[in-house]
Structure 1
């Protein structure tokens, strides 16, 4: 029984290991590979909760370990990916060294703005652990969803031919505004529906099925561009769900 109890924690550790690898790759300027390991961490993050429910192997340690792993995989790593693009926009190289002696104050401020994401991710995770309103839904954008948004940027630019989007991404003002908006959404008082399902019935999962159908339609129409839009669609469907629930 003790071995079964630790299976979810082992999967959580794989999430953490993937997040550490993703962070290292982002620092070294390998943003596409970093994004791939963020996706792998997200799979492990989904699997540990699924396994814990299936095995009824819940524990306070597992909850804390999950938050610590998420902080690295979905808090620090997206910040480092954002830093990589800020380095590209300011220094012309995603793997350039952060050398204060070679940077002016404006450049340092632009680069350090990337760490707003880890700070707000930490606030989001701490809030989730003590907020009893978030047992069946979320208040604010979950850190994995935010991390997936940032991880989608290098994947879209690598696999798709979008020169205009690349110009936007390499604009430091657009990057900083995006950092501020996504960080705000992490702690915003917006109720977000959970993707976890207890049954496959349409009645209990109307919003989830509608969300998935919309993503499939967008994927067919927009191909790789659908990936960064997932967060926006998720936010819009959550707002729609809140409005219909109130009615």
Structure 2
């Protein structure tokens, strides 16, 4: 049956986009990388959506998804941090950027075996982490401190920690469209779209902060309703 291969084909498209983005990262074109990361994110969303819609979930699909994500949302953001650190002339210290790659791989492995993460996330998910990192070359045009090596190393350490932390964050999967059950998700989505429309890449760090805040409000409201 052809339909059972559709989700895996979308996952492979995610991987291909990540590979192409890596070439641009190698060449130092860090702004173009963002385009391919966004494409990878779209394919990453729709491969899971297609698997649920067509009822063709499989173990190989789950493993393939993680392998693709290691490239698109692990190696690629690590390469961006590495390239930004290289601009500071730090030599071998620039390799600390690949801590993002290592902790992203740990995050994905943890997700695959952690039964607590069937509906929501525990730890920062790799696509959100990568979207923040691809915004950095754009933010550099406005905020010169982005290129400061101490800032980049501190950010790398913070994001690496968040990837494998016990911080609980909601996913955008919804069993229904009821306002009361999903109000913080809806508010987050609306505010994020407005910020992106007006601020574009500058909005992404703000969106990450809002994601953490609204997630905590969401889980707190769930606990109070029990």
Q: Deviations over 1:87-113 (max 9, x none)?
A: 1222xxxxxxxxxxxxxxx6312x011
- Structure 1 position 180 matched with structure 2 position 163: no
- Which residue number in structure 1 is paired with residue 92 of structure 2? 108
Larger Rg computed on CA atoms: 1
3-state SS of the aligned residue for 2:178? coil
TM-aligned CA deviation for residue 222 of structure 1 = 4.0
1:246 and 1:181 map into 2 onto residues whose CA distance is 28
1:118 and 1:15 map into 2 onto residues whose CA distance is 17
Q: 1:118 aligns with which of 69, 82, 101?
A: 101
Q: 1:205 aligns with which of 146, 168, 182?
A: 182
TM-aligned CA deviation for residue 60 of structure 1 = 0.5
1:13 and 1:69 map into 2 onto residues whose CA distance is 7
1:64 and 1:221 map into 2 onto residues whose CA distance is 37
Gap runs ≥5 in structure 2: none
Q: 2:170 aligns with which of 182, 193, 213?
A: 193
- Which residue number in structure 2 is paired with residue 140 of structure 1? 123
Q: 1:130 aligns with which of 105, 109, 113?
A: 113
The count of residues paired between Structure 1 and Structure 2 equals 224
3-state SS of the aligned residue for 1:194? coil
When residues 221 and 175 of structure 1 are mapped into structure 2, their CA distance, relative to the original with a 3 A threshold, is: same
So what's the TM-score if we normalise by structure 1?
Answer: 0.86
- Which residue number in structure 1 is paired with residue 213 of structure 2? 236
TM-aligned CA deviation for residue 217 of structure 1 = 4.4
- Which residue number in structure 2 is paired with residue 70 of structure 1? 69
